[in-house]
Structure 1
Amino acid sequence: MTFPREGYDLLYSETEEELRSAVRALLADRCAPPAVLARAESGRPHDPALWHTLAAEIGTAGLLVPEKFGGQGAGHREAAVVLEELGRAVAPVPYLTSAVLAAEILLGCDPAGSAHTAALLRELASGRQVCVPAVPLTLAPGAPLPAAVRDTGGGQLTGTVTSVADAVAADVLLVLADTGLYAVPVAAVTLTPLVPLDLTRPLATVTLDGAAGTRLADPATARAAVAGALLSGAGLLAGEQLGIAEWCLTETVAYVRGRHQFNRPVGSFQALKHRLARLWLDVASARAAARAAADALATGAPDAPLTVAVAQAYCSGVAVRAAEECVQLHGGIGMTWEHPAHLYLKRAKADSLALGTAGHHRALVADFAELPAP
C-alpha cells in the first residue's frame, strides 16, 4: 500500500460550485423538511418527480458515466458535491445506490464489450431507470462478498438478500450470483419492506425464486466490479455525512443565537460556545477527509483505499456527533417529531453502518499501515 501522496486538491472548482448551486436550489424548492417529514410519515419516502428532475434534467445520475455511454463524463468529485447537498436535505432519492454503486458496478463489467450492459448504463445515466445492487447496505469494502444467490440453470436465480437499500424504488436489480452478475427486473422478485431506522432510505429483503436474469459478467469480473463499487460508495458516502454534519452545525448555531434565556442568547453561554467550537473543528476536519477521498477516487490514486478508509473512519462519527448535538442544543423542540433534527440523527446513525462501520474502516487503516492488532 502506498501511503498518502502530497498535493490533494481539496478546493471546490467553479464547476463544482455551480453544480452545488443547482442541486441546492432544487432541494430548497422541492425537498424542504416538512415535505420530507410528510413523505416519511406516508411510508413511501421516494419522490419520483424530484428524482426525475435531479437525475435527468440536471443530469446528476450520469456524473460517473462516460459520455460515450450517455453520461456526463464528470467524476467522483462532482458526485461527492451532489451527495453533500443530498445529505444537507436528507433527500429521499436513490442517488447513492443507483448513480454511484450501480453505475460503478456496470462500468466495471466492460460495457464496451456488452450491448446489454451498455444499454442498461445508458438508461441509468439518463434517469429513465433506477438500477440498484442487490447487496446488503452494510456490506463494506474489503469484506467477503455474499454468496446468497445461486443460478439453478439458464439464468434462473434463487436466494434471499437482506437489507437492500432503495429496492422499492428500483426498476432493475443487479444480483451477484455464483455464476456471475445478473440484471433482474424488480417485477421478477419478491420485495419484503423492512422497518428502517432511516425513514428516508427504505430497506427491503429481496427474495428470488427462479427469477430470470440477464448475465452481465462472469464471476471474477462481477466480484471485482462489486468490490470497486463498494470502495467508491464508501468514499462518496463521506460526502453525504459531511453534508449532514454541516446542516446540523448551521442550524444549531442559528438556533442558539436566537433562543434567549436569562435575557441573553443561549449561544453566548461559554459552555455552549465550547461545544460548538469543537463541533466546527470536527466538521472542518471531516470536510478535508471527505474531499481527499473524492479526489483520490477521481484521480485513481494508488492510496485511494487508505484515503477512503480514513474518511469513513472519521466522517461517520462526526455526522453522528453533529446530529446528536443538534438534537440536544435545540432543547425541547429538538425532541419533537415536527422538527427535522431526528431525520438527520437517523440518517447519520444509519450511514454509520452503511458500507462498513467506523471500526471496520479503522481496521483497514491498521492493515494498510501494517499495524498489528492488540
Structure 2
Amino acid sequence: MHFGLSPEQQELAGTVRKVLARSADSMAVRAATESATGFDAALWETLCEQVGVAALAIPEEYDGFGATFFETSVVLEELGKALAPVPLLSSVVTAEALLGSGDAAVCGELLPQIAAGTVATLAWAGVTGAADAPIGVRAEGDALTGTVQAVLDGDNAELIVVAALDGDAPALFVVAPDAVRIEQVPAMDTTLRFATLTFEGAPARRIAGDGSAALARAHRAGTAAVAALQVGGAQRALDMTVGYSLERVQFGRLIGSFQALKHRMADMLVEVETSRSISWAASYAVATDADDADVLTASAASACGDAFMHVAGEAVQLHGGIAITWEHDISWVFKRAQALNQLFGLPHQHRALLPL
C-alpha cells in the first residue's frame, strides 16, 4: 500500500476528530466514565448515525457502508487519541466473528443491527488473551454453561455472541442478555468497560459455520484494532508532553529548551510514527486478507503495545509529579496503555508467533 491516507480517509479522520473535539473533551470523558453505563451513549449515537463508524467494514448487503477494515482503523486511531469511551472495539470484533462464521442467515439478521449502532460483544477469553485461549463455556444441546471473565462491554451489550465448546470443537452462539448473569468488573482504565458473564443453562442459538475460523478472524481483527487505538493513545501522550514542555518553566527556562528533554521527546516521536506505519500495514493486510496478515498483526501488536507503554511512561516522567494525580489527563493515558496491553495477547506472546 501507499503509506498515506487517501483524501477520503483524511476526510473521515477529520470528521471524527471534529465530533470528538466537540463531544469528547476531558470533562465529557470523565462524566461518561462515571455514569451508570460507563460510556457516552450520546456520542456513540452521533458517531453511528452521522459518521457510520459501526457500519464501515460491514458489507453493503448487510446494511453496512461496504468500506474496509482499514477505514475502521482510521476511526479507532482518532478514538484512541481522544480516549473516547464508546463501544466500537467490541462491536467491530463481534462483527468480524459473525462474518468469519460464514452463516449468511445470521449475518443478515445481526450485522444490520451492529451497523446501526447496537452494542455487541464477543464473550471469549481470547479478547483478553491469546488466540489459543481456553474456552470456559460448554454447549449442552441448546444451552450454555460456564463463565467468561473480563468481557469487553459485557454489561452494556444488547447483542451477545458466545464462544463455547460444542463437543470438542469451538462454536459460536447467540444468547439474550437477560439469560445471562452479568457482573460489572472494575477496571484500572475506566474508559474501558468489562464484565463477568456467567451462563447457567442459558438458552442459546448456534451459529452455523466454522467456529475456529470465526474466532481466528475476530482475534486478528481485534489485534489490529487495538494497535490502532494504541497509536492514537501514543500520539495523545506525545502531544500533551510537547505542549507541557512549552509551558513549564524551570530554572528560568522552558523545559522544552533543555537538550536532554528534546532528545527524549524526539525518541517518543520516532516510536509514534513507527507504530503508525506498522499499524497501517497490519490494518491494510487485514482489510485485504493478505497472505502476511497474521505476521503483520503480530508485529503491530508487539511494536505498538511496547511503544505505547514506553511513550506513556515517558510522558508521565516528563510531566513530573502532576502526572500521577487523578485530576491530570496524562494519568488516564498511562492507564489506557496498561489496559490495551492486556487485550488480544501480550506483546511478547505476539513476538513468539513471528518467524525467525
Same fold (TM over 0.5): yes
In 2, are the aligned partners of 1:36 and 1:45 still within 8 Å (CA)? no
Structure 2 partner of 1:189 = 180
In 2, are the aligned partners of 1:10 and 1:295 still within 8 Å (CA)? no
Aligned residue for 1:80, secondary structure, equals: helix
- Mapped to 1, the partners of 2:81 and 2:344 lie a distance apart of 20
- Mapped to 2, the partners of 1:340 and 1:355 lie a distance apart of 25
The code of the aligned residue for 1:327 comes to V
**1:77 Cα deviation after fit:** 1.3
- Mapped to 1, the partners of 2:299 and 2:155 lie a distance apart of 32
**Structure 2 residue 336 is the aligned partner of structure 1 residue 347:** yes
In 2, are the aligned partners of 1:64 and 1:71 still within 8 Å (CA)? yes
- Mapped to 1, the partners of 2:10 and 2:308 lie a distance apart of 22
Deviations 1:95-149 (A, max 9, x none): 1111x2101011112243x2x331111111111x2110001332223xx243311
Structure 2 partner of 1:165 = 152
In 1, are the aligned partners of 2:238 and 2:265 still within 8 Å (CA)? yes
Structure 2 partner of 1:33 = 26
Pairing partner for 2:189 from 198, 203, 220: 198
- Mapped to 2, the partners of 1:333 and 1:44 lie a distance apart of 29
Structure 1 partner of 2:111 = 121
- Mapped to 1, the partners of 2:290 and 2:135 lie a distance apart of 30
Structure 2 residues without counterparts, runs of 5 or longer: none
- Mapped to 1, the partners of 2:68 and 2:301 lie a distance apart of 19
In 2, are the aligned partners of 1:31 and 1:89 still within 8 Å (CA)? yes
- Mapped to 2, the partners of 1:342 and 1:251 lie a distance apart of 11
Pairing partner for 2:78 from 45, 60, 85: 85
Aligned residue for 2:144, secondary structure, equals: strand
The code of the aligned residue for 2:27 comes to P
The code of the aligned residue for 1:54 comes to L
- Mapped to 2, the partners of 1:145 and 1:49 lie a distance apart of 34
TM-score (norm 2): 0.95
Deviations 1:72-113 (A, max 9, x none): 101121011111011001111111111x2101011112243x
**Count of residue pairs the alignment pairs up:** 351
- Mapped to 1, the partners of 2:161 and 2:310 lie a distance apart of 34
- Mapped to 2, the partners of 1:94 and 1:130 lie a distance apart of 7
Structure 2 partner of 1:295 = 284
In 2, are the aligned partners of 1:9 and 1:295 still within 8 Å (CA)? no
The code of the aligned residue for 2:25 comes to A
Return closer, same or farther for 1:58/1:106 CA change in 2, 3 Å cut-off: same
Structure 2 partner of 1:139 = 129
Structure 1 partner of 2:241 = 252
1:306-345 alignment runs, 5 A limit: 306-345=295-334
- Mapped to 2, the partners of 1:336 and 1:44 lie a distance apart of 24
- Mapped to 2, the partners of 1:117 and 1:42 lie a distance apart of 32
**Structure 2 residue 94 is the aligned partner of structure 1 residue 102:** yes
In 2, are the aligned partners of 1:151 and 1:157 still within 8 Å (CA)? yes
**1:152 Cα deviation after fit:** 2.3
- Mapped to 2, the partners of 1:43 and 1:311 lie a distance apart of 34
In 1, are the aligned partners of 2:93 and 2:122 still within 8 Å (CA)? yes
The code of the aligned residue for 1:160 comes to T
Deviations 1:338-363 (A, max 9, x none): 11111111111111111010000110
Aligned residue for 1:205, secondary structure, equals: strand
Identical positions, percent: 42
In 1, are the aligned partners of 2:62 and 2:107 still within 8 Å (CA)? no
Pairing partner for 2:48 from 39, 46, 55: 55
- Mapped to 1, the partners of 2:45 and 2:150 lie a distance apart of 25
**Structure 2 residue 12 is the aligned partner of structure 1 residue 19:** yes
Structure 2 partner of 1:268 = 257
The code of the aligned residue for 1:354 comes to L
What RMSD, in angstroms, separates the aligned Cα atoms of the two structures? 1.4
Structure 2 partner of 1:149 = 137
**1:223 Cα deviation after fit:** 1.9
- Mapped to 2, the partners of 1:62 and 1:80 lie a distance apart of 13
The code of the aligned residue for 1:292 comes to A
- Mapped to 2, the partners of 1:158 and 1:140 lie a distance apart of 22
The code of the aligned residue for 2:67 comes to A
In 2, are the aligned partners of 1:259 and 1:266 still within 8 Å (CA)? yes
Structure 1 residues without counterparts, runs of 5 or longer: 1-7
**1:236 Cα deviation after fit:** 2.1
Deviations 1:20-50 (A, max 9, x none): 1111111111111122123334464211111
**1:211 Cα deviation after fit:** 1.1
**1:178 Cα deviation after fit:** 1.9
TM-score (norm 1): 0.91
Structure 2 partner of 1:5 = none
